[in-house]
Amino acid sequence: MALSNADIIKFARAAVEYDANPSYNATPERKAKLLAEAKRAALSYYDQAQTDIRDSGYRVTRRVKYVLWEELKRIAAEAEEK
């Protein structure tokens, strides 16, 4: 079964948001700052998102890579606008 574009987008967003969760009890302000930093660096999660997709049992095809890259670029662009 192939991944839908919506599923690929979820993998991209999950990779960014997961890294923004601190392992300690951070204040809400610090959590928001970490999430903003992770969103600005969204393109650096490209390999991690691909690994997450592979670990879930799906193949990483050209279409998956393209949609993943486009979504990570969109996340980074949204962070720069704010």
Domains in the chain: how many in total? 1
pLDDT of residue 21: 85
- pTM for this prediction: 0.89
Predicted confidence (pLDDT) per residue in 17-49, tens digit: 998 888 788 888 999 999 999 999 999 999 999
Distance CA 67, CA 58 (A): 14
Contact present, 4 and 71 (Cβ < 8 Å): no
Name residue 34's amino acid: L
Query: Domain range for residue 16?
Result: 5-81
